[in-house]
Amino acid sequence: MHVLILGGTTEARRLAGLLAAGEVPGARVTSSLAGRVAAPRLPPGEVRIGGFGGADGLADWLRTHAVDLLVDATHPFA
C-alpha cells in the first residue's frame, strides 16, 4: 500500500515516522512538502517537494505513482 501524506506539519511527520517504522506492514510512505521552508525537517520515508500543479497535477501524480491512500495532514487553515 502506497500512502502519500501531504505534509509540512508535526503531525504529518509523526505519521510518516510510524508508517516508515512498519506500524502498518507493507505500507510504503511518501511525504509531500510545499517547498516553502528552505531547510525543512525531513520526515522518514520518501519525500517529494513542491506543488503538483493544481488538482489535475495531483491526480496525475497519484496515478503515476500508484498511490492507494492520500492523507491531507497539512495545516488546518492552509
Ligand X SMILES: NC(=O)c1ccc[n+]([C@@H]2O[C@H](COP(=O)([O-])OP(=O)(O)OC[C@H]3O[C@@H](n4cnc5c(N)ncnc54)[C@H](OP(=O)(O)O)[C@@H]3O)[C@@H](O)[C@H]2O)c1
35: which residues sit within 8 A by CB, 6+ positions away?
A: 49, 50, 51
Q: Is 7 in the site for ligand X (CB under 6 A)?
A: yes
Our CB check for ligand X shows the closer of 25 and 64 to be: 64
Strand partners, 39: none
What's the min distance (Å) between Cβ of 37 and ligand X? 8
Hey, which bits of the chain come out as E strands? 2-6, 28-33, 46-49, 69-72
Q: In the window 49-78, what residues touch ligand X (CB under 6 A)? A: 51-54, 57-58, 74-75, 77-78
Which positions lie near ligand X, rule CB under 6 A? 6-9, 32-34, 36, 51-54, 57-58, 74-75, 77-78
